[in-house]
Amino acid sequence: MRGLSELRNSEQELYQFQARVAIAGIAVLVAFALLAARFLYLQVLQHDVYRAKAEDNRISVVPVTPNRGLITDRNGVVVARNYLGYTLEIFPKRVRNIERTIDEVSEFVDISNRDRVRFRKLLQETRNAESLPIKNRLSDEEVAKFAANRFRFEGVEIKGRLFRQYPFGDVGSHVLGYLGRINTQDQQKLEDDGVGANYRGTDYIGKAGIEAQYEPELHGTTGFEQVEIDAAGRGIRTLSATPSQPGNNITLTLDMRLQQVAEVAFGDRRGALVAIDPANGGVLALVSKPGFDPNLFVDGIDPQYWAELNGSIDKPLNNRAISGLYPPGSTIKPYLALAALETGKRKPSSTIFDPGYYDFGGRRFRDDKKGGHGTVDLYKSITESCDTYYYILSNDLGIEAIAKFLAPFGFGSRSGIDLAGEFTGVLPSPEWKVKRFKDPRQQKWFPGETISIGIGQGYHSYTPLQLAQAMAMLADVGHMYRPRLVEHIDNPRTGDSRDFPAEVIHTVNLKRENVDFIKRSMAGVTKEGTAARAFSKAEYTVGGKTGTAQVIAMKQGEKYEEAKVAERHRDHSLFIAFAPVESPRIALAVIVENGGFGARAAAPLARTVLDYFMLGKVPPGMETPTPEDDSASDEEVESGE
Amino acid sequence: MELARLPLTHRIGRRLAEGIDSTLLVLMLSLSMLGLLALFSASYDVPSRVGAQVVNLAVALVAMWLVAQVHPQTMMRFAIPSYVIGVALLVAVALFGDVVNGARRWLHVGVTRFQPSEMMKLALPLMLAWYFHKHETTLKLRNFFIAAILLVVPLALIAKQPDLGTAALVGAAGFYVIFFAGLSWRVLGTLFALGLAALPVVWGFLHGYQRRRVLTLLDPSTDPLGAGYHIIQSTIAVGSGGVWGKGWLNGTQAHLEFIPERHTDFIFAVFSEEFGLIGNIVLIVLYSLLVARGLVIAANAATVFARLLAGAISLMFFTYAFVNMGMVSGILPVVGVPLPFLSYGGTALLTLFIGAGILMSVHRYRKLVQT
């Protein structure tokens, strides 16, 4: 009985299945009939139309690359522009023997060994490139010579193209960044972002700095031309054209002349300087020395220079201002003093006696000044930079309170500046130590470690940008702005302008009288304190604080002797400042690597920069700060023509 | 006894022919020959491709022969392992796959890379056919629900890579099994309605470039440098072919490099330009016969497993052909689907010939008594 019903069941199922097979078969036929109808439409009814199109095809779509947007500083000084130059290009697919062709071409055009090496590198790195430059920036004579012999070279052509140029050379190189050829990785990223089509015909892309950060703004929209071509693929005439739209122009908050003054002041020394407008977070100068010449990247950097830059012990490609980490040294003291006032641990009038050392936990923490500073109040602790005062203070405050107070000033957290590659740094605290170390024995915070935190040593490590940002926040009595480099972005065609307004990250409620006291003390530093000599006869008011950061750890009780330490083990010299004291317009942080005492290297450098900023005083040896002259600049092409 | 007296070569010939369905084989080889013709024309710049494709064909034929020797009963044992391994590999791809052209599809295996989603094209119908076979006597709506889950898991993983083209194909293969298993028309209708209603939601999940491809289909001129260019140029190629075509090796569209990916996904444009409407009709007829043969095999299959699998594979052949030709002639969006038996590429050929091998096995062990 049961077997029978199962059988019938499966028979019924089979019947149902076969019915569905028939339906599927019909559906297949209908679908194919639809396709056939489409073919009929295309190949019979519309055949003439498409035949004509194929005949003209002959019509090739050629991308028209847009002009890259210009970059200017806050005063309208152009810091990145385009100019028209001629390049000699080889079409690898159309040339049989590339090496021999290069040899033959070199009869007419001077091709150096560097050019050859660079070309070979390009050939390896780029896939599917139509043509690659063997020589950039041909002279007029070379252009004429080659043009006369052009018929001899199949697959070698002269192309006119826009080159990026940075008139200030290596000044501001870490801010501006540079352009480089689009490599396989870049191509992939463009495809991922869905903008691959817009980069057809574009060979260069921003690789670092503002050029990379604002690439989508600067690039513009690629246009296209429909060009009639002959059977060999050569263009005969243009049929229709959709023009390209130039990239947007970017105006920086940077003051390029200030930047230049600062960079010249550094000379050959290594280090960084960041200057910020405390009222809105606009970056006025951002220096990292040594720099590099971004112009050399534009043509496809030659491997030798690249190796020099990459291999140098000075690390010129690193942007020290945002990725260099340094202990703050004594520049941390004003903040701890403010913490003492805000928490009520100290009053301005309360004093200590400094015998020249502080004993804690069986160890002796020495003051910088032999024999000590004697009776020290809060004001004097800042102007004379008394270590003993801060050993005691940090012990009184405790590490938790210190970390809690310093954090809102941006110490140990990324500022969010519009540049890639910013480092976080370390704001030391017991929690940080637990996170940092795996070994439980290392995770414990020792009370002795709190003592050296008071003078900016120990685990502290911050970027120069963080130091400048904290200075700006103190100068602006508790308002923290996101530091930014771009003031506004303009569309050259429509004239639309987008402002990048100041962005308050947070505000900390600080007592006005406390902040004013700290500011007065810092003004004292430049009048009668550690930076008095550097700022003698200054015609404006300025608050500052010197700092010296140890590069190698000294054993306690060991005295540091500069002469004995190798140059690169010498202390870093630091200085933070703001001016004018009453209503600050600039806040800055300077670090001179291995510069020794803060008062010796960093403070005079800050003086030079502030003299220019406050008074327009140009330092000797740089009477008129102008961009390097370049013979090509008269062919400059402005965006938006 | 008699067999033993035959010459050795003859005996080998017989052994080789055993289990091979000549109708299917002839159709597939005809399509492959047309493919080699088009490929020869499309690869004037890289002639070695034709040789490579011949090698691919040989390998695929061997695979087909081997699969054709396996009894469907034995195949059922592979259902769960191949499905589980397939899904595991897809998960592996999602976690540490290689990204090529912005999609995470490839998995490194020693020196070579491979696409687990390709394997799913057969593993999923295999699994679903097995599942319905197992629950043959007690089929309820609940079983369809579980089948749907089996379908959606790999589908979601592939769609997330993102590879919507392959996801659609794998999904179609799974759907065909469910359809043949007898999901009621009412449920089918409801699902269809729901699908339509969900379109705006799907739209929201699409990547920018995927949306652009759909929009481009509606108006190719909006994107003349990107995907629209493909459609414009391939449509010109098809249309300019006319009734008789421009003749072999005479296609200007292909030879002036207007057709992108002309030896793989867009080989139909080359074929259509050179062989015209006549060539297209021949192609459609060949595909129709292939699908018809497959469906006949399915209708006569011995077990539920065999007929569901055979039915789904037959319709897969149809789907690939239809989607590819539809894409090249500008009525479907540009998705990465090769034209079966014609496009250059070893993996796709292997999948197709293994599928054919399964059909042959199903045919060999068909129901012997007609009811």
Residues B206-215 pLDDT 10s: 776 667 767 7
Question: Chains A, B: CB contacts under 8 A, how many?
Answer: 141
On chain A, the residues whose CB falls within 8 A of the CB of B319 are none
Q: Give the mean pLDDT of B56-73.
A: 94
Per-residue pLDDT, A469: 95
Mean residue pLDDT of chain A comes to 84
Shortest CA distance to B342 belongs to which of B33, B43, B25? Answer: B33
Which of A10, A43, A222 is the closest to B277 by Cβ? A43
Q: Is B307 close to A57, i.e. CB distance below 8 A?
A: no
- Residue B236's closest chain A neighbor by CA? A50
Q: Give the mean pLDDT of A375-403.
A: 91
Q: Using the predicted structure, report yes or no on whether residue A625 has a pLDDT greater than 50.
A: no
Q: Is A32 close to B284, i.e. CB distance below 8 A?
A: yes
Q: Give the mean pLDDT of B66-77.
A: 93
Per-residue pLDDT, A566: 67
Q: Is the CB of residue A116 less than 8 Å away from at least one CB of chain B? A: no
Dihedral Cα B226, B229, B231, B234, nearest 10 deg? -140
Per-residue pLDDT, A631: 39
Phi, psi of B310 (to 5 degrees): -65, -40
Q: Is A194 close to B298, i.e. CB distance below 8 A?
A: no
Please tell me the distance in Å from B1's CA to the nearest CA on chain A.
Answer: 40
Please tell me the distance in Å from B4's CA to the nearest CA on chain A.
Answer: 41
What CA–CA distance (Å, rounded) separates A501 from B117? 49
Per-residue pLDDT, B72: 93
Q: Write the pLDDT tens digit of every residue in A333-383.
A: 999 999 999 998 999 888 899 888 898 888 888 888 888 888 999 999 999
Per-residue pLDDT, B113: 57
Q: Is A197 close to B241, i.e. CB distance below 8 A?
A: no
Restricting to B residues 336-365, those with a Cβ less than 8 Å away from any Cβ of A are none
pLDDT bin (cut points 50, 70, 90) of residue A638 is very low
Of A132 and A285, the structure prediction assigns the larger pLDDT to A285
Chain mean position to CA B351: 7
Q: Using the predicted structure, report yes or no on whether residue A576 has a pLDDT greater than 90.
A: yes
Q: Give the mean pLDDT of A420-444.
A: 88
Please tell me the distance in Å from B158's CA to the nearest CA on chain A.
Answer: 17
Q: Is B311 close to A42, i.e. CB distance below 8 A?
A: no
Of B333 and B174, the structure prediction assigns the larger pLDDT to B174
Q: Using the predicted structure, report yes or no on whether residue A483 has a pLDDT greater than 90.
A: yes
Q: Using the predicted structure, report yes or no on whether residue A163 has a pLDDT greater than 70.
A: yes
Restricting to B residues 12-71, those with a Cβ less than 8 Å away from any Cβ of A are none
Dihedral Cα A193, A196, A197, A202, nearest 10 deg? 130
Please tell me the distance in Å from B136's CA to the nearest CA on chain A.
Answer: 8
On chain A, the residues whose CB falls within 8 A of the CB of B101 are 188, 191
Per-residue pLDDT, B1: 47
pLDDT bin (cut points 50, 70, 90) of residue A125 is low
Q: Which residue among A131, A173, A288, A330 is the active-site one?
A: A330
What CA–CA distance (Å, rounded) separates B112 from A253? 51
Q: Give the mean pLDDT of A157-182.
A: 87
Q: Using the predicted structure, report yes or no on whether residue A434 has a pLDDT greater than 80.
A: yes
- Please provide the DSSP assignment of B319-340 as one string: HHHHHHHHHHTTSS-----PPT
Q: Using the predicted structure, report yes or no on whether residue A2 has a pLDDT greater than 80.
A: no
Restricting to A residues 24-53, those with a Cβ less than 8 Å away from any Cβ of B are 24-25, 28-29, 31-32, 35-36, 38-40, 42-44, 46-47, 49-51, 53
Q: Using the predicted structure, report yes or no on whether residue A555 has a pLDDT greater than 50.
A: no
Shortest CA distance to B285 belongs to which of A22, A33, A47? Answer: A33
What CA–CA distance (Å, rounded) separates A521 from B332? 75
Q: Write the pLDDT tens digit of every residue in B184-232.
A: 888 889 988 888 888 888 777 777 666 776 776 666 666 666 667 778 8
Per-residue pLDDT, A626: 53
Which of B137, B229, B295 is the closest to A25 by Cβ? B295
Which of B208, B258, B288 is the closest to A57 by Cβ? B258
Q: Write the pLDDT tens digit of every residue in A30-64.
A: 999 999 999 999 999 988 888 887 776 666 677 88
Beta bridge partners of A544: A577
Q: Give the mean pLDDT of A79-85.
A: 88
Q: ipTM higher than 0.85?
A: yes
Question: Would you say B338 and B265 are in contact if contact means Cβ atoms under 8 Å apart?
Answer: yes
Per-residue pLDDT, B360: 95
What CA–CA distance (Å, rounded) separates A15 from A288? 82
Q: Is there a catalytic annotation at residue A330? A: yes
Q: Using the predicted structure, report yes or no on whether residue A564 has a pLDDT greater than 80.
A: no
Q: Give the mean pLDDT of A153-162.
A: 81
What CA–CA distance (Å, rounded) separates B313 from B353? 11
Question: Residue A273 in 3-state DSSP?
Answer: strand
Please, what are the domains in chain A? Answer: 61-252 (3.90.1310.10), 256-615 (3.40.710.10)
Interface test with A, best of B256, B290, B328, B366 (most A CBs within 10 A): B256
Q: Is the CB of residue A94 less than 8 Å away from at least one CB of chain B? A: no
Pick the most confident of A315-329, A461-475, A548-562.
Answer: A461-475
Beta bridge partners of B103: B100
Which of A10, A16, A39 is the closest to B277 by Cβ? A39
Q: Is B238 close to A39, i.e. CB distance below 8 A?
A: yes
Q: Is the CB of residue B326 less than 8 Å away from at least one CB of chain A? A: yes
Per-residue pLDDT, A204: 86
Q: Using the predicted structure, report yes or no on whether residue B162 has a pLDDT greater than 80.
A: no
Of A111 and A231, the structure prediction assigns the larger pLDDT to A111
Per-residue pLDDT, A427: 93
What CA–CA distance (Å, rounded) separates B291 from B23? 11
On chain B, the residues whose CB falls within 8 A of the CB of A61 are 224-225, 229
On chain A, the residues whose CB falls within 8 A of the CB of B102 are 188, 191-192
Per-residue pLDDT, A153: 79
pLDDT bin (cut points 50, 70, 90) of residue A157 is confident
On chain A, the residues whose CB falls within 8 A of the CB of B242 are 43-44, 47, 51
Q: Is A24 close to B315, i.e. CB distance below 8 A?
A: yes
Shortest CA distance to B177 belongs to which of B83, B286, B69? Answer: B83
Q: Using the predicted structure, report yes or no on whether residue B94 has a pLDDT greater than 50.
A: yes
Per-residue pLDDT, A7: 57
What CA–CA distance (Å, rounded) separates A220 from A67? 7
Q: Is A53 close to B239, i.e. CB distance below 8 A?
A: yes
Q: Is A18 close to B238, i.e. CB distance below 8 A?
A: no
On chain B, the residues whose CB falls within 8 A of the CB of A16 are 182
Q: Is B182 close to A231, i.e. CB distance below 8 A?
A: no
Q: Using the predicted structure, report yes or no on whether residue B68 has a pLDDT greater than 90.
A: yes
Q: Is B225 close to A191, i.e. CB distance below 8 A?
A: no
